[in-house]
Structures are given as C-alpha cells and as structure tokens.
Amino acid sequence: MAFDRGSVTAIYPGSFDPITNGHLDLIERGAKLFDRLVVAILGNDTKQPLFTVEERIEMAREAVRGLSNVGVDSFDGLLVDFAAARQASVILRGIRAISDYEYELQMALMNRRLAPDIETVFLMAGEAYSFLSSRLVKEVIALGGNIAGLVPPAVEARLRNRLLPRK
C-alpha cells in the first residue's frame, strides 16, 4: 500500500545575526529531510541585533542560493503563527551542547502547547560547529581574531566592515 504523507514544510527559526556555517550545515541537512525549508529570521528581536533584519535576510539568501528547496523570510510575533501561515508542520532547531537543551526544551514545549500539530525536530549540530555561535563570531572578529571557515566569506566581509575600525 502506498503511503502518502504529502509535502512537508519545515521552518528553521532564529536570530541569524549573522548566519554562520553552523546554521548552514543544519540548513543543508534539513533540506534533505523536508520537502521545503523556510529559514525564518526574527524581526522584532529584543536582543538588539548587530544587523538589520533586511541585512540578515540578504546574507542568508546569498548563503542558501544553491539550495532549491530552501527559502528565507522574516517573521514577527509568534513562531507558531508564522509556521501555520506557511502550512509548516515542523519547526527545525539545532542542539550544540547540553547547555542548549533546557532553553530548547522550554521553547519546544511552549510551542507544542500553542500548536499541538506542529512538531519541533532537533538535529545535533555538526561536530565541527558545536562550539560556534553568532555571538562568539562577533566577539572574536571585533577583537581582531580569525573567523575564516566559521561564516560564509560575504558574511565575514560584512562583519569586518561593521565591527573593525578602518585604518
């Protein structure tokens, strides 16, 4: 008997301030698991992002250009409302270390309470990126450290422009 689960759209939400190679690893793996993957960038971020939402969208779009079933968009308000509007049945998140677990569990359970039909699916971060975060990348580059291989080259260039004083 043929089993047709229909087409599955997953949302990969986050601040993406900026997108890193760790995010991209997860996006590439997620794109193989789901029919369509929407990278959803939080617009009204209380964390005072370094880049505007338009800049973060631009960087993410450029980074995922080669992936035909991946789109990039921004959202405000509840994530589950955005997911429902996109007919997505999955929220995709990455887990790096045990320290991520508590925050992720809280969000997943709250989202399930708000929208029981939407499942959060976790992928373990690639081991090469398990230490990587947008926050650390910004800190290291601002202090003159080398971030080659941790973000796409175009993102590195934007970070340099924004954070390093011109000589």
Q: What is the DSSP string of 58-73?
A: HHHHHHTTT-TTEEEE
Q: Shortest Cβ distance from residue 47 to ligand PNS (Å)?
A: 7
> Does 78 sit near ligand PNS (CB under 6 A)?
yes
Q: Let me know if 23 is a catalytic residue.
A: yes
Binding span for ligand PNS by CB under 6 A among 8-16, 60-68, 121-129, 141-149: 8-16
| Options 23, 93, 138, 158, the catalytic residue | 23
Binding span for ligand PNS by CB under 6 A among 48-56, 62-70, 107-115, 157-165: 107-115
CA distances from 53 to 50, 116, 148 (A): 9, 29, 24
Q: Let me know if 32 is a catalytic residue.
A: no
CA distance 104 to 79: 14
Length of the chain in terms of residues written: 167
The answer to whether 120 and 89 are in contact (CB under 8 A) is: no
CA distance 9 to 59: 22
| Options 56, 96, 138, 158, the catalytic residue | 96
Task: Pick the closer one to ligand PNS by CB: 110 or 157.
Answer: 110
> Does 15 sit near ligand PNS (CB under 6 A)?
yes
Q: Let me know if 56 is a catalytic residue.
A: no
**CB nearest ligand PNS: which residue?**
14
Binding span for ligand PNS by CB under 6 A among 11-19, 51-59, 117-125, 139-147: 11-19
| Options 56, 74, 93, 134, the catalytic residue | 134
Number of other CB atoms surrounding residue 55 within 10 Å: 15
**Alpha-helical runs (H) found in 15-96:** 21-33, 53-63, 79-85
> Does 110 sit near ligand PNS (CB under 6 A)?
yes
Residue of the chain from 42, 59, 72, 92 that contacts ligand PNS (CB under 6 A): 42
Q: Of 42, 26, 40, 20, which is closest to residue 156 (Cα–Cα)?
A: 20
- Which parts of this chain interact with ligand PNS (CB under 6 A)? 13-15, 42, 78-79, 107, 110-111
